Structure 1
């Protein structure tokens, strides 16, 4: 059975880049897409869902009248709406017809139907020019990390000033994102990594970057640092994963794609398809208040696997990414979930 969608596709031409476009509609611009086995365009009278063509925060800032009209239409025609929120922080729309598709947020605050969409990435094995492979279990757990982590007081002050400016702009309606408490992610990340590094029963392989993506600007440097990042994931069975500006971790999906095991710091995260996927079977999830025990928790987790189970987990994680979190795969799974909400 197909999902019938109505959307004002012409609105896509009004945005400055594809980054503002609902990715499902972007994919359906290709008339040969396999997703046409699962979705079809139709009229507003006969559709199952109205799909907002571009991200809702962009519309509220640049075309609020259209956003108002389309939500009124959803009421008139009694149709549910697929609302895409693309930013790190996201925007909650408190409307009974709204089904939100977003990158992250706080699980305890979601009151309406919300689906978490992964950041879509290219297959890292192609970038590394390597065959898919999995690591044998060693006596000690080995955990990697490459990324923005800075424990200096100056950095903490800078992050607070950025946060303050962002919220002033939000209050002045210069942006349309949810409020979230101050959370200096690079500062906390540094502190938590140091806890692991100081535990001599664990092998840690960390590359600390004082700026996001090491402050690189050129295309060549971006490629070099990306390869360095994925090589670190490749070399270690475990990778430390924690939120950034928004309350989600891109590194979680990058680790799964490499067929490795994410160690996730849970900051009230909502995981995608959490009614279908038992995430505890794929990751080590540690509540943030227990981070001081992260070394002991990781050692206990590592010890419970036989050699064959350890490799099987890595294979299962790679398959999870292929089946759920590649771009086409995600929207096929989403179709199956939406059919339940018709």
Structure 2
């Protein structure tokens, strides 16, 4: 008979390792009665990648940037809802526990980034750092690729927007402060819950809610512009915390805010359904029903314009709650300037304009 699903190991987001959608063959574990099943690999493995390019371009109208830099593939934070999980399939790896444990580091990131910024005709626009996977995941402590990128961006006076749920960002205050003094950096902290237990099962190796609020407070006090991103909002799991999270982040110094409704592309849908069945079996059906109601009857809607916020009654109510809370708390005010300065860009050695 088929082997029963294993419970999620403590410190990981999932125990399963489903086939990626590009795999040419598929196999199914089967219990032959000998009870010699080999448990899934749980230790973190890191391989090096020599990247050809490190600045990724996009034309999505749903995000406020047209280029990004991701030092790592895969993410040890293990967030069960992560929209980037299916991207591991491009490396013939599973979006399941492989995504959390078989990581790839772009070890030549600094060299390639400097080359791309130095190209004749390069026109600067803010680079989003750590979009697909978190640039401040635990691996960064030893690899330091994110710090190397910030050192180059500071030297080139290039604007950068950081998105993270890792407290390790405070290590780089010595770089973030001079960037902020030149209006070259902003930091967005992803906040999904104020409940430590929910955080533990939903984002097992990410920073605690208190640590993320401390990041906001410390950066704000140091003069670094900070915002909060409540993402993703999951029906019947954390959506009831929206106003409280916005209040806590505002008190910590966040001046702007955003949110994203849960997205379940490709293999992520099955992983999330398994997670619900393990941790919230009594409400799993209701959660998935609301997700599908907000996605045109499907698990995911990839259309530009609706993929971030959804549609339908639940999505509209969530949007209204967000707007009212932002108005009450003073978020996203028109008299506040959150823009970064692209005019300071100056590759080392380049002759400055006299005008």
Give the alignment's TM-score, normalised by structure 1. Answer: 0.32
Higher helix share: 1
